[in-house]
Chain A
Amino acid sequence: MLRLIKYGCVLAVLMVLLGSEIASPRAEAQFVRPVDVVPPDDDIGEGYKTPAVQRPLPREAWWNLVDVASLSAALVLSTWIVLGRRSRYWLVALTVACLAYFGFYRQGCVCPIGAIQNVTLSLADSTYVLPVVVIVFFLLPLVFALLFGRVFCGGVCPLGAIQDLVVLQPVDVPRRWDKRLGILKYVYLVVAIWYAAGALMGIEAPGGREFIICRFDPFVGFFRFTGSAGVLIFGGVLLVLGIFIGRPYCRYLCPYGALLAILSRFAWRGVSITPDKELDCGLCTEACPLGAIEKNRAVLSSCLFCARCFDWCPRDKTNRAQCQEGDVRARAETVES
């Protein structure tokens, strides 16, 4: 059943992506000055030359490069830290760095979550111009998801980061509820696409085109230290809730998370908790605040690359702290009993 809903959503997304392109050239009224009695330069005299006006050029291109490079580097680092280094410590460092740059410095824009709407709108309305940087932000994390899983969620996404830092007293969400709530994000994805396109399959979005993901982005208000009261409260509630329920927005609401979840299902080299020898001690399941470990194995579509499991894993401790294998066994047995 859940699967059906998920794939239905994917199908809908594909239909929009490959679907109609409505070309509507927009007629622009000309700006006409009332008169032309400007004194010419030679009338002003003394060799005066009218200076050029500073034209408001878009952000310099190298800034776009910085953004793209930061994103790429963060994705690569996140992959390496989680899959190679298996280090929670370094991942937290990366998380904080990305929160600082993509969150507070870039104030939550540009972000792949919102980019869903830009991409949709660009496909629905050919007059809408989609900046290349948005395309890259939209696609790169998807490619990483297909290769490694939800790398972006782990160390890169500022929305994930702010939630990840408040996970203090995680409690288990009953699996049934976890799954049911998880469907919300697919619904949100479809609704967001519906609104961004303005109309889906001939049905107009009530209230007209709207970037609802950005409008109801719960954390961007914190990055900007301003926002509408309702959304700020929503963000605050999510953060408080996030103390007990690990990353609620990522797991249940994030529409981009929905896309990533689908793709990471087919990840080529995903997180595996014990790649060579398996203790099956279950400490990892206990460590995971996201309910992403089932039967001592990571569920790739839910795993948010937070690396907590590695931090708890006695095997990794063996490597790093040179613990005696006996101690590990003993601990494992304690847990099992």
Chain B
Amino acid sequence: MHDLRFRWIASGAVMLAAQVATADDWPQFRGPNRDAISQETGLLRQWPEAGPKVLWSVEVCEGYAAPVVHTGRVYFNDYDRKSRTWFVRCAALEDGKALWRFSDKKRIRANHGITRTVPAVDGKYVFSLDPKCVFHCLDAATGEELWRKSLVKEYGSTIPAWYAGQCPLVEPDRVVIATGGRAVLVALDKATGSEIWKTPNPDKLAMSHVSVMPAVIGGVKQYLYNTLKGPLGVAADDGRVLWHFPWKFNVAVPVSPVVIGDDRVFLTSCYEADTVMIRVRREGDTFSAEKVFSLSPSDWNSETHTPVVYKDHMFGVGKKRRGLFTCLDFDGKQVWTSKGKASFGLGSYLLADGMFYVLEGATGMLRLLEANTSEYKELASAQLLDGHDVWAPLALSDGKLLIRDMTKLVCVEVGQGK
């Protein structure tokens, strides 16, 4: 795992390169390294009876949009049904006080929630994709809109069913987003939004709910994306397709590709599609992908969230039995599950300080699990949210855990406090 991170740092892909980022930031979907792992330490391993301290909470519109944190500021997407306005909200991490709010009037009807995208912040810009696939670039300090792009108009994207679900990827010199339609992925200039490259789309791949994942495979920096017709790798420097692995997914693909080591990619999805582990090989300038193994949904699959790679294992909430938290090895064998202990529905999770923070999707119960590869071990639990559909990803920064349900975003002190 650590190797991987170093490789990413070495390849300059990671947020550390951004000007004011600190180790404590959670600047994008799945955190600084897009792996749902926080580098923080010294977090509480036991909680008081009443659960960890709730610092603040704000009302949010129904949806699954998680916040990000950058230099003590929280950014998240929201919507107001009465005034029919879409927002990017910025608040202080310390007390939840509103700092600015970008609004854009548009009609978005709730379709199993409204908001489900996470912005990406690099200290200067905030990038956010709204439910109707308009891509906004805002000034991180003021919330002023610098540019916007309607992916539908510019790239002929089809707004996915249940609206956009992808979270933009910020790189030091560009922002990468999947469009479908006339391109698969595009890299845009952060300051102007002008196109740096686009990936041609002869197969007419549609935009999925997957977020683009950076990886280095065969020594080549690439962006991984998954579609209904299987995953592909795109060269980071010019956007050409390096490899494509045809695989049939059903209805929607919300789970992002999981990079394992330097050549394997784990792909799982919902609607009873088979999960597959592939190996990507480089021979000269050409890449090829082949199946290592596949799992039927009756074996294991994850429906919405992307598993976490840690200690040479994968951890994630599987679909079976209403969401068993599972530890899998890289051969797809289940090492342990939470069977008989807890069911997490479609709850999300992140890893920090050797512990998993896992939400129960149906009830909002937050459970703290020891991240080990031998057994399910719960350290603490707390009911901080109300069910139902607590499906949003979590965010952790500066000992503060940000979690949300369908009505509120809550900030909880899980560190030692100051």
Contacts and interface: CB of A to CB of B under 8 A. Distances in A.
* Contact flag (A, B; Cβ within 8 A): yes
Given A43-B110, A44-B109, A35 B81 contact: no
A37 B109 contact: no
Interface in A23-54: 34-37, 39, 43-45
B143 interface: no
Contacts of A34: 362, 388
B32 to A, nearest CB: 32
B130 interface: no
Interface string B82-123: 000000000000000000000000000111110000000000
B24 interface: no
A37 B81 contact: no
Contacts of A35: 388-389
B109 A43 contact: yes
Contacts of B389: 35, 37
Contacts of B81: 43
B110 A37 contact: yes
Contact of A45 (B109, B113, B362, B406): B109
Interface of A is mostly: loop
| Interface residue range, chain A | under 10
B62 interface: yes
A37 B62 contact: yes
A35 B407 CA distance: 13
Contacts of A39: 109-111
Contacts of A43: 81, 109-110
Contacts of B62: 37
Contacts of B110: 37, 39, 43
Nearest to A34: B388
Contacts of B406: 37
A80 to B, nearest CB: 67
Interface string A70-110: 00000000000000000000000000000000000000000
Interface in B279-305: none
A4 to B, nearest CB: 63
A303 B10 CA distance: 105
- Of the candidates A37, A39, A44, the one having the most CB atoms from chain B within 10 angstroms of its own CB is A37
Contacts of A45: 109
A106 to B, nearest CB: 45
Contacts of A44: 109
Nearest to A37: B112
A45 B109 CA distance: 9
B113 A37 contact: yes
A36 B113 CA distance: 10
B162 to A, nearest CB: 11
A229 to B, nearest CB: 37
Contacts of B112: 37
Interface string B128-158: 0000000000000000000000000000000
A35 B110 CA distance: 13
A36 B386 CA distance: 13
18 contacts: A34-B362, A34-B388, A35-B389, A36-B388, A37-B62, A37-B110, A37-B112, A37-B113, A37-B389, A37-B406, A39-B109, A39-B110, A39-B111, A43-B81, A43-B109, A43-B110, A44-B109, A45-B109
Given A35-B389, A43-B81, 17 more contacts: A34-B362, A34-B388, A35-B388, A36-B388, A37-B62, A37-B110, A37-B112, A37-B113, A37-B389, A37-B406, A39-B109, A39-B110, A39-B111, A43-B109, A43-B110, A44-B109, A45-B109
Closest 10 CB pairs of A and B: A35-B388, A43-B109, A35-B389, A39-B110, A37-B112, A39-B109, A43-B110, A34-B388, A37-B110, A37-B113
